[in-house]
Structure 1
Amino acid sequence: MKRIILLYIYLFPALLCAQYRVTGIVSDSIGTPLEKVSIVLLPQGLQQSSAKDGSFAFLLGSNTRIQFSMVGYERKVIELDKGRNQHINVVLSASQQKLDEVLVNTGYYKVDKSRVTGSFNAIDNKQLQFNPNGNIIERLEGITPSLQFDRKFNVNENVGEPALRLRGLSSIQSSTEPLIILDNFPYKGSINTINPDDIESITILKDAAAASIWGARAGNGVIVLTTKKGRAGDAIKVSFGTQLVLSDRPDLFYNLNFLDSKSMMEIEKTLFDRSYYKKANQTMLPDYVSLLFKLKENKIDQTEFDQIKNRMEMQDIRQEAREELYRQAVTQRYNLMLSGGSTKNRFVLSGSFNKDLLNVIGNKAQRYTLRGANELKLTSQLTLNTEVQVARLDNVNNGYNLTNLNGTRTLSPYTFLRNVDGTAASTNYKYLREYVEQAESTGLLNWDFKPLEDRELLNKSNQSKNLLLAAGLNYRLLDGLSLDFKYQYQNISNSSQNWYDKDSYYVRNLVNQYTQTDMTRIIPYSGILEGGTNRNIVNHNFRLQGNYQKKFATNYELSALAGAEISANLTKDLPGFRLFDYNRDILTNQIAFDYTNLYKLRPNGSARVPVPPNNMQDITERFLSYFANASLTIQDRHSFSGSVRWDASNIFGVKTNQKGVPLWSLGAKEKLIAFDFLKNNWLSQLDVRATYGVNGNINAALSALPSAFFNNYDLMTGLPYSQLRSAGNPNLRWEKIKILNLGLDFGFLKQRLTGSVEYFHKKGTDLIGQKLYDPTTGISPVDGTYYIDNSVNYANMITKGLDFNLRALLLQGDFKWSVNTLLSYTSNKVTDYMAASRVSTSSYVTSPVPTVGKSLDQLYAWKFGGLSAENGMILTPSGDQDYLQYMNNAKIEDLEYVGLRFPPWQGSLMQSFNYKGFELNANIEFKMGFYLRRASIDYSKLFANGIGNRDYERRWQKIGDEQFTTVPAMPTNVDNRRDALYANSMVLIEKGDFVRLSNIQMAYTFKWRNVKSVQTRVFGAINNLGMLYRANKSGLDPDFYQANYPKPRTYTIGFQLDF
């Protein structure tokens, strides 16, 4: 017996070692459990795979290491604490050498990108951190192809949110904005209420196969935001981040529409000598003109006149405004997130606070967000998901800037904001200065407007609140077959409130205006509280969906889903209010006013007491949808997909809902690298893709039923009235966008060089357009404008383009250097549209008119006929100065077709450098192939409103100047047509091409030696660094050429702590 025991000890020494149990869960970077991960015990090589929920378990003896690997993920080896039972959570990172192996989220399902046939862009959290400023959508600029930011509406002080285009335009009159999805459903609130730190990844769906699952709302593309989730089986993790953002003062010297004080005063003196100005009806006159009148009327002597004049000539309102009205903006951001889970649940709880002191003194904003999400396994087959999001956005806009300081006339460059003694100055605002100065002596209130004091006597605020509740149940019926029920409720409320102190200009102006001849005050001299129209939006979404995913015989993988969805969107606008004689302390007010009586106004005219905002509307939009989607992958080489969706809505006509024409898509993908003749050492990936299908687009502003606008009273009669807005359209239906997409994905040198090339062709049919009717119906244009809507589905257009993406890993190892190049091209052409028969030729110059055979971004200009050698006036192309005859008789063929006003080419070049914990990222953006119309001197606006332009200094002044300048001479009379001919002529067209250094970011991530679970990241970033190249010679930023100043440069420093 003793010999037998010794033999066992010799042959099986492992039996003498104490065994211990190791369990765990393996998941990806966003916490999704990974099934069939290869788990190998080292060094013996024993192997098993993770279960469907990512779990695994071992009974170990001498093993101290476990290796985890899966296609598309980096291999990971875990060192074990030998000799004790333990539970470990393993997170696998997506492989950098298998770039396309990422999950794509469509809002209905998630799928590995290597198997999708459609056109997607997947942006992970690391890419979103490249630009830490702006809302979550603005952070996509420059890092994704074909997403275009249109800033043509950024005028004056507006340098904020741009309009979006995804792969160009798909509609003529309807919205061009892509659909925004938050996790599972469309997001109806402001994008600014979403905390960017809550977003884990973004998927952009660009073609029919990708977006058709969203049916009649996907014609402009879809952007899916995926929020962060906890990781199953993970210990509680805490993440805290803070950022400080500083923004430069705006560049007030950028605006071309400005003249220095001396030049403006010379112009005003010339007009004064021509008797252009009249002191009639107390109409406001420029301060220098008032000074000239005082000298002429002997109210001041020459010495006093010269002193004031010299001070005016030395003044530049921009310099004083820079110090008194504007400041360096400061933003503070704080974000706290807790996440974790067990074998049965995973959760995340986050909160954020933003505080903004904006560039204009007196303007500020705050944002609060709170979010909680939990996934709980009720049974082995039933999972419950719940989520709550709360957001509040507060804005205060008490400040004055160089735009809202403009009163009856544009602010003069010699305007003072402070007096010599430092007190707040009274600026010329609405009425004749002399009339204002005499107000108190006639028994009226002080009528001075002092902006530096006035901003302290008011509080103008608006508030946006957002509540989102979501719940979902997933029931696993069989292996691979599950049933989903999801519900989401969203409530959005927007309100505004303005309070004015009794000494504010707003109150004093109203009191004085309505003071009668006998000095009776109709408006009480007390505070006023106003409330704007309150909007409340309630959105309900229900979805029932079946999912099936199964592998057959190791070579076939089938994924399919089908379901139904019901949604309702309720929008209600409630009227505002205006409370006179308002006391903030005891909350009293007076509302007993006769709103029907006409009162005499000072200085002239008559009017009723201002009524509160009384706009009301109640809109209900309901949608019913049925959908199905399926994909089949064979031998991991051949992939096929198809989808179909049927939509109905109460905004469509009855006939349309009865027909229910479905929207659909088909797609295929082939991995050519599997063919033997393509297998080699340098080619690692070669995939071809093709999809075709039909998406839809909805114009929510239209209705199948007649609609009218109702008002309480007519200004002339005082009686209620209504106005027909639309005759109704029982055939109203969604717009259809037929999309063809061809794609090639490639990789070389073991994925050191990867990229893709895509061609797309979109044909919009049944687009909404204005159609000519028999004039006897009453639906006809008046001077090209329709006052009764006549929009029907009939128009067509084509949009096509290319997307190119190239990523190169130039160096790897401790020092990594990667370059990512994006390039996209889009063009569009109208193929069927019926323009109003009386659209003037001038309309083609001032704004795009849909024209068959032309782009919606077309830019026309009047041909430039040069300047007269005799008087310096602009000549028509006919060589004369008969502007009325030329412009009235001109045809579209007489115009100069310039090109496009929106860039067809755009792209970026991003470089990333990494060395151990250090990161350096720089992004260069460019836009090419478009034109802009810069502003120049417009003498009609100069004389009437004081709007100047630097070109005035280059004007024609003597015979022979026409050889050196294109700026007309200052005329002796006003002729709007002459000024319009010049303002819209070819001579003011410039190329818009530019290259911009968009942002630079530097970061360092370090881990604590003694505490492995703690990680700290510090970073700094600079945005809007400036132009590297611009084609225009005027120094304009083509993105903001109509704004008073470009977007200021920002500086960010941040700190992130994870433990």
Structure 2
Amino acid sequence: MDFNAIRISGSVHLCVPRKTLLVMKITTFLLLMTIMTVSATSLAQKISLSEKNASLEQVLNKIRQQSGYDFVYSEDLFLNSSPITVNIKDATLDEALKVSLKNQALDFKIENGAVVFKVKEASFFDKIKTALAIPITVSGKVTDTTGIPLVGATIINKTDGKAILTNDKGEFILTAQNGDQITTSFIGYQPYVFTVTNNLPFQNIVLHASLNKLTEVIISTGYQQLSREKTTGSFVVIDSALLNRKVGTNVLDRLDGITSGLLFNKNRVASQSEFNIRGRSTINGEDKPLIVVDNFPYEGNLDNINPNDIKSINILKDAAAAAIWGTRAGNGVVVITTFKGNYNAKQVINFNANVTIGKKPDLYQAPWFSSSDWIGVEKFLYDQGAYTDAINSGYLPVSAAVDIMDQGAKKMISSADSLKQINALKNYDVRKDMLKYLYRLSVNQQYAFNVNGGGDRNKYFVSVGYDRNLASKMTDSYNRFNLTANNSYRFLKDKLELTTGLLFTSSSYKSGNTYSPQSPYDRLADENGNALAVQNNLRSGYVDTVGKGNLLDWHYRPLDENYANSKSNLTSYIINAGLNYNILPGFSASLLYQYQKQSTVGEVLNNADSYTARDLVNSLSSIDYSTGAVSRVVPVGGIFNSRIEQLTSNYGRFQLNYNKSIGADHSLSAIGGVEVRDNFAESISQNLYGYDESTRVNSNSAINFNNDYALLYGGSTRISAGQESSYLTDRYVSYFANATYAYKSRYTLSLSARKDESNLFGVKSNQKGVPLWSAGFGWDISKEAFYDFSWLPYLKLRGSYGYTGNVSKTISAYLTANVIGTNIYGPTYSGIINPPNPSLKWEKNKIINLGLDFSSKSGVISGSIEPYIKDGVDLFGTSPLAGQTGVLSFQGNFAQTSTKGLDVTINTINLNGRFKWYSTFLFSTIRDKVAKYTASENTNGAIVTFPFDNPIVGNSYFSLYAYKWAGLDGNGNPQVYFDGSPSSDFSSISNSLNRSNIVRVGSAVPTTFGSLRNTFSYGSLALSFNITYRLNYYFRRTSLESTVYGPLGFQNNIDFANRWMKSGDELKTSVPSLLYPDDGSRQIYTSSDILIEKADNIRLQDIRLEWNLKKLTPLTKYFSALQLYAYLNNVGYIWKANKLGLDPDNPNPTITNTSIPLTISFGIKATL
């Protein structure tokens, strides 16, 4: 409502420059003097107006305008007012107000030039009547239109003025009298009013969003649900609508580019997780964010979860938000909440189906030599004698072209035949056969069906999902079946609620061998499509003759191997149950339990006809050439590898919850409890030889796995039993508490504490448990009396400070070791991973976060600005030990990091008529450095080659290092600056410890990133697209190396034509000459900064088009919602900083690692 001049509740503070502030002060003073002058003449004015069935707000607004008085009132005071008809002329202010408020439950008082409105006090008779009346218990639940509980909604009895807030489930209980008016209100939603009657049923209240108000957001931490107004931490909330804007099988793919602070590592470096929240928080510890599903940590594969079952995802980024999760929150927390039903709600059926089609991989993206050019290189190498040893061995492989050259040189074939055969090879390109026989368009199908609803005593949500994915590689496929069932039941007059949940997943993944060409002119099939043999690990001429027909066929035909020989079947189920008992209004106790079990059975079967099985049988055979008899170590049959992995988790939690308003000005939300969890993971694997898949019989008993067996072509080897087993048990006991206090909905304080204890840590009892805590504040500046910026009605400042933790399951306070294998005498032997460390502690991250939330009038511009500082202390790092200890280094709490960053979110309503245009701009920037690292100094060569294994104090963990390029010398040799002068001394350069001889060129990951998402709608059509940007990072591109003269050198022809070939070329090229044989010196060039490229890019990530058919066709009368949609993903780059056209997400593609192709999806969504 817009008629008020002064509000008791309001919104936010604005930071402005000093000069602007001075102008504002002068302007305010002049306006104030003007207002005082006008008011002096207007206070005595008479009031005249005539209104019929007008709202009370409209009438009072006109009275205010004519009187010149300020009106002071509570924002929800007029929610229950009824329409009025007035006809007054030349009335005083007092007379006009009395007429207007007649038959309204309101009163007023005029004082100091202002009118103060309040609820009319009950008369003495009414008070006696109320005292004698029998109270009626009123209970209910408040949700939004999607079923999400509205936590902290205000329930006010307009008759007696008493008010309460809904709890963390959106529920409330109060007592009232027959005929009382109860109003339910929530910021950003239209209020709802109902009248109390005898035998009033449970109120299932659904509030509808108000377009001209700031939408309220519910935060879920996994322990409680809070209104954003009550939070002090850094949260991002992704609702189901935004999550389902994208199309895909897994959840993570849908999060990319839609929230600030969350970066997906597309061109992964080091051992990065798939994504991180506000940068890396560790050096050697676990770097994956914690995933929480329906209040409990999720230990399984996130691909198991059906995205269509997810109602919301909350990203917890700072200590106030995440510290409640203690030692697992150091990398941030992702809280996933699945859909639940609603009490007293009609049954709703939802269906979603889509198909996604993807292009074949671009095999021509890899920088290959053409067949003709590569044969020229092979001719050069043949003339240099590069293949002499292989040719003379009789069995080592050489390419078809080299074999023809050798036969021609030895006069085994004529020169004409040699030339003819060579020219034929020049016309072949194996990539054509690969695209024809090994790849296809990918096709992913997804189907999701759910039904939900509820009665007075129960609510339910049941869903079924099925995904069928055919990958672009013909042998690969993925199928997944999901079943989700969430139920709730109420007992004991709604005081006790029982919830149950089931998440079941069954999936299977099939794949085949990956063919890697040995030459660019391989042929996979003849003109009739029949499989052809290609060169592999043995020469064709050798396998043709060595067995004289007594060995198994030893040729390798890729098309005969083009089937799915690897299978992985996963079964996962999560069963949870919870009890919540409302002890008193606003005070409850809950008991939760969850059991999770995931089993993965992996099988790789190379049957008796496979090349792998035939090769092993033949390689370990011996032949009596006098008789032709063959003796075999490995019996004829298949090779079967099996691996079974089991994960079992038990969680239990007891929690007390308090959520209540105390009077009109105070509210308190608090939780406290204890949690126990037990995780057990084990795996076992083995190889079976001579395997018959029909009888499942094997011949392992005939093999001695400790023996060295002679190979038919020379040398010896052992046969791997493949027997591995491992298990890991984690046990934790945790104590936690969290409280949030709000005063007048204006000032908010929060405290959080948690203590974790684990069996991994406990050598010293004082370090067994690590207390982690946080404190935060919130100040809704816009609700202050002095705040009067109508164009910015909401402004809130918040801040937090605290600690989160992190663990590593690879180290312990105890001695840890791993089994390496068996020695020549048979017994197994082990290596020490880490010596005992009784002082080992969990890692800790100290986080300081500030936030400024704002919204302009009608929400035209809204958003948040959040600077933060994150310091990692007691991080796991390596420290050297004296050699006489038997261990050169060990892992302990020896490292520290420091990170500073900024997250910005801006939402705008650009057009809001029939044609609508909304935008969301996301901006994040991160600067990190290693503050402490005690490992022994390594060489410059190691740092340049493996920078993330050798962090340098003062620089970012993700720093890229290189030698400073100094050009080519007169002989085409690469030079870099060494001790200030150009040098080609590779040994001295790479072994140097002088850090001035290397340069830090920048970060290997984006330090600035974000997106701009635009949504347009007109009538039943909606179009949206998302543009992402990733800035301030670099990559090292590949270039010509002497390895081009190696076995797979044809796969890298970058800069081959630009290489130094004659004196003077050093003036026009930076590509060195090629050496044969290679002496390793060319690594100076490939490790120099001349090959460092900017990775900055702007990308059109996706486009979505929707057509809502609800009122357009006769068929839609059977649906409450019907939508057709199309979605394009990985559309393409708008701009790239590098001038070479390289893909920054995959700058060095290979034949088996090409860029992600464009996909297009079509789908339908329906609601019955």
Same fold flag (TM > 0.5): yes
Question: Which of the residues 337, 343, 355 maps onto 2:450?
Answer: 337
Letter aligned with residue 211 of structure 1: A
CA contact (8 A) 2:901 2:927 kept: yes
Question: Which of the residues 237, 259, 273 maps onto 1:122?
Answer: 237
Distance 1:235 1:526 in 2: 65
SS at 1:268 equivalent: helix
Cα 1:919/1:113, change in 2 over 3 Å:
same
Deviation at 1:685, TM superposition (A): 0.9
Q: Please state if 1:397 is matched with 2:511.
A: yes
Q: Please state if 1:1035 is matched with 2:1136.
A: no
CA offsets per residue over residues 172-207 of structure 1, 9 Å max, x none? 111221100001111011111100001010000000
Question: Which of the residues 771, 777, 795 maps onto 2:885?
Answer: 777
CA contact (8 A) 1:25 1:55 kept: no
Distance 1:557 1:47 in 2: 13
> Which residue of the partner structure matches residue 199 of structure 1?
310
Deviation at 1:400, TM superposition (A): 2.9
Cα 1:212/1:40, change in 2 over 3 Å:
closer
> Which residue of the partner structure matches residue 854 of structure 2?
746
1:783-798 to structure 2, matched below 5 A, reads 790-798=890-898
Question: Which of the residues 14, 24, 29 maps onto 2:145?
Answer: 29
1:263-342 to structure 2, matched below 5 A, reads 263-277=373-387, 278=389, 279-281=391-393, 282-342=395-455
Letter aligned with residue 828 of structure 1: D
Cα 1:146/1:24, change in 2 over 3 Å:
closer
TM-score (norm 2): 0.82
Deviation at 1:600, TM superposition (A): 1.3
1:50-89 to structure 2, matched below 5 A, reads 53=171, 70-75=185-190
1:1011-1050 to structure 2, matched below 5 A, reads 1011=1117, 1014-1043=1120-1149, 1044-1050=1153-1159
Question: Which of the residues 764, 769, 778 maps onto 2:872?
Answer: 764
> Which residue of the partner structure matches residue 642 of structure 1?
751
Deviation at 1:26, TM superposition (A): 5.1
Deviation at 1:844, TM superposition (A): 3.5
Q: Please state if 1:814 is matched with 2:814.
A: no
CA contact (8 A) 1:545 1:564 kept: yes
Larger Rg: 2
CA offsets per residue over residues 317-349 of structure 1, 9 Å max, x none? 223322222111000111111111111111111
CA contact (8 A) 2:244 2:308 kept: no
Q: Please state if 1:727 is matched with 2:835.
A: yes
SS at 1:517 equivalent: strand
Question: Which of the residues 362, 376, 384 maps onto 1:251?
Answer: 362
Distance 1:58 1:463 in 2: 58
> Which residue of the partner structure matches residue 844 of structure 1?
944
Q: Please state if 1:607 is matched with 2:717.
A: yes
> Which residue of the partner structure matches residue 566 of structure 1?
676
Distance 1:968 1:126 in 2: 55
> Which residue of the partner structure matches residue 1092 of structure 2?
989
Distance 1:984 1:446 in 2: 45
TM-score (norm 1): 0.90
Question: Which of the residues 334, 341, 347 maps onto 1:223?
Answer: 334
Cα 1:33/1:886, change in 2 over 3 Å:
closer
Deviation at 1:939, TM superposition (A): 0.9
Question: Which of the residues 348, 371, 376 maps onto 2:489?
Answer: 376
Letter aligned with residue 1099 of structure 2: R
Distance 2:1078 2:783 in 1: 75
Deviation at 1:689, TM superposition (A): 0.6
Distance 1:931 1:879 in 2: 25
Q: How many equivalent residue pairs?
A: 1002
Deviation at 1:32, TM superposition (A): 5.1
Letter aligned with residue 841 of structure 2: R
Question: Which of the residues 543, 561, 566 maps onto 1:436?
Answer: 543
Deviation at 1:860, TM superposition (A): 0.7
SS at 1:236 equivalent: strand
CA offsets per residue over residues 920-979 of structure 1, 9 Å max, x none? 110000011111100111113533542423211221222222222211122232112x12
Unaligned runs of 5+ in 1: 1-21, 781-785
Q: Please state if 1:101 is matched with 2:101.
A: no
> Which residue of the partner structure matches residue 9 of structure 1?
none
> Which residue of the partner structure matches residue 556 of structure 1?
666
CA contact (8 A) 1:766 1:793 kept: yes
SS at 1:705 equivalent: coil
1:659-674 to structure 2, matched below 5 A, reads 660-674=769-783
Question: Which of the residues 917, 939, 960 maps onto 1:859?
Answer: 960
Question: Which of the residues 472, 475, 493 maps onto 1:362?
Answer: 475
Letter aligned with residue 266 of structure 1: G
> Which residue of the partner structure matches residue 489 of structure 1?
595
CA contact (8 A) 2:174 2:585 kept: no
Deviates more, 1:817-826 or 1:458-467: 458-467
CA contact (8 A) 1:325 1:400 kept: no
Distance 2:226 2:203 in 1: 27
Cα 1:644/1:875, change in 2 over 3 Å:
closer
> Which residue of the partner structure matches residue 828 of structure 1?
928
Question: Which of the residues 1066, 1069, 1077 maps onto 1:973?
Answer: 1077
Deviation at 1:886, TM superposition (A): 3.2
CA contact (8 A) 2:209 2:215 kept: no
> Which residue of the partner structure matches residue 594 of structure 1?
703
CA offsets per residue over residues 127-165 of structure 1, 9 Å max, x none? 11221125212211111001011133489xx9xx96211
CA contact (8 A) 1:232 1:343 kept: yes
Q: Please state if 1:908 is matched with 2:1011.
A: yes
Letter aligned with residue 555 of structure 1: D
> Which residue of the partner structure matches residue 783 of structure 1?
none
CA contact (8 A) 1:841 1:891 kept: no
Distance 1:93 1:280 in 2: 83
Deviates more, 1:118-127 or 1:433-442: 433-442
Cα 1:134/1:836, change in 2 over 3 Å:
farther
Cα 1:916/1:871, change in 2 over 3 Å:
closer
CA contact (8 A) 1:327 1:361 kept: yes
Deviation at 1:522, TM superposition (A): 2.4
CA contact (8 A) 1:995 1:1028 kept: yes
SS at 2:346 equivalent: coil
Letter aligned with residue 103 of structure 1: I
CA offsets per residue over residues 675-712 of structure 1, 9 Å max, x none? 34431321111111110001111111111111222356
Distance 2:413 2:758 in 1: 73
Cα 1:890/1:641, change in 2 over 3 Å:
closer
> Which residue of the partner structure matches residue 1022 of structure 2?
919
> Which residue of the partner structure matches residue 24 of structure 2?
none
> Which residue of the partner structure matches residue 18 of structure 1?
none
Deviation at 1:255, TM superposition (A): 2.1
Distance 2:665 2:358 in 1: 57
Deviation at 1:871, TM superposition (A): 4.1
> Percent identity over the alignment?
32
Cα 1:38/1:879, change in 2 over 3 Å:
closer
> Which residue of the partner structure matches residue 8 of structure 1?
none
Q: Please state if 1:963 is matched with 2:1041.
A: no
> Which residue of the partner structure matches residue 266 of structure 2?
151
Distance 2:689 2:832 in 1: 34
SS at 1:294 equivalent: helix
Cα 1:235/1:523, change in 2 over 3 Å:
farther
Letter aligned with residue 362 of structure 2: D
Q: Please state if 1:499 is matched with 2:615.
A: no
SS at 2:859 equivalent: coil
CA contact (8 A) 1:284 1:433 kept: yes
CA contact (8 A) 2:513 2:561 kept: no
> Which residue of the partner structure matches residue 585 of structure 2?
479
SS at 2:599 equivalent: strand
CA offsets per residue over residues 975-1021 of structure 1, 9 Å max, x none? 12x12111111110110100000000011223257847531111100
